[in-house]
Amino acid sequence: VELLHNVIQHDQAQRRDTRGPWAQAAMQRHQIRRNFLVEDGFAAFEGLTEEGGLRDVFRVEFIAPDGEPESGVDGGGLFKEFMVTLNRAMFDPEFGLFSETSDRTLYPAVSAFWTHGHRAAELYAFLGKVVGKAIYEMFLLEAQFSRVFLNRLLGRTNEVDDVAALDRELHRNMLQIKESANVEECNLTFSVSVSERGHHEEVDLIPNGSNVPVTRDNLTRYFHLMANFKTNVQFHGQTAAFLRGLQCVIPLSWLKMFDPYELNSLISGSTQGFDVQDLRRHTNFSGGYQDDSPVIQWLWRILEHEMEPEDMGRFLMFATSCSRPPLLGFKTLYPAFCIHRVPDGERLPTASTCANLLKLP
């Protein structure tokens, strides 16, 4: 991760040096209507390429539902809010681009082209650009991808054992069939049923496969064909479109430094809590608080000794809008984490997540 961070920093420095006094002009400024977030986000990214804006600094101005610009100058916080809200909307399975496994990881929805029609490919490419921009800015996403999808992004072919990462029940059924005394009694054929979001389709795994019975002799071939379809073939178009957008920001050669687990951490971070002392070292204070203030001392003690990783994640989500710590530690969090003293002791804690600002009474 640190190697990629150094590569990205070198790229950013080169771009600044190349543009010189015109670097500020290369900043991308976009108006985003809150009630048309996806549409305006799509328009902002559309037409941008690696050399044509995707690696430039983005600045956002939100437009309220009444059509008036919201107050505030984007120093990075509004762009962060835009990215968080956009990704939350588009990775929601209800949006129709991604489906969720039993362990809540995401993979491209089989039904996406039925749900969104010809626009699905454009939406996947757009979301690929968004994820690429997040990686380039070292900005973590809440979404966690299935290993099957990550393998495809890295150009790897999934095998029979990878079915479990996508569909545990299917993998369990395959094992039961393998142990069955009489495979023929299962009445299987070389075809597969695809059902999602109200759409049903029967797909042959081989020519005329729905009329070819599965027997003990051809069972291994059936398993390989079934696994290949489920983990590689059925969302090939979706993955290709996503990857096309991703590579507009992040060259595939950069990503291939990682295995699927590392790539998942690069995109989504770690769910194993965080180093409280690291956060403490890189926390600013305002409103009268200092590191040795009693309330602050209580906070550090609770975080370090009384919270489980899941609760620590909820704390970070509340304060920063991301439940996972920055990949290279809190020294890289932007804006820097800050705790502000609220004079009214009767108030509950609040936060301005776009500024990573925790307000404690």
The residues carrying an active-site annotation are 354
Handedness of CA 141, 144, 147, 151 (dihedral sign): negative
Nearest to 307 by CA among 275, 348, 267: 275
> Are the beta carbons of 239 and 245 closer than 8 angstroms?
no
3 state SS of 325: coil
C-alpha span between 90 and 125 (Å, rounded): 12
For residue 335, whether the previous peptide bond is cis, meaning omega lies within 30 degrees of 0, is: yes
3 state SS of 292: coil
DSSP symbol at 199: E
Inter-axis angle of helices 119-136 and 37-45, nearest 10: 80
> Are the beta carbons of 120 and 171 closer than 8 angstroms?
no
Nearest to 165 by CA among 144, 185, 186, 182: 144
Quick one: residue 321, left, alpha or beta (phi over 0 = left, psi -120 to 50 = alpha)?
left
304-309, long-range: CB < 8 A, 24+ apart: 304/276, 304/277, 307/273, 308/273, 309/271, 309/272, 309/273
Query: Quick one: which H or E segment has residue 351?
Result: strand 350-352
- Label the pairing between strands 338-341 and 58-63: unpaired
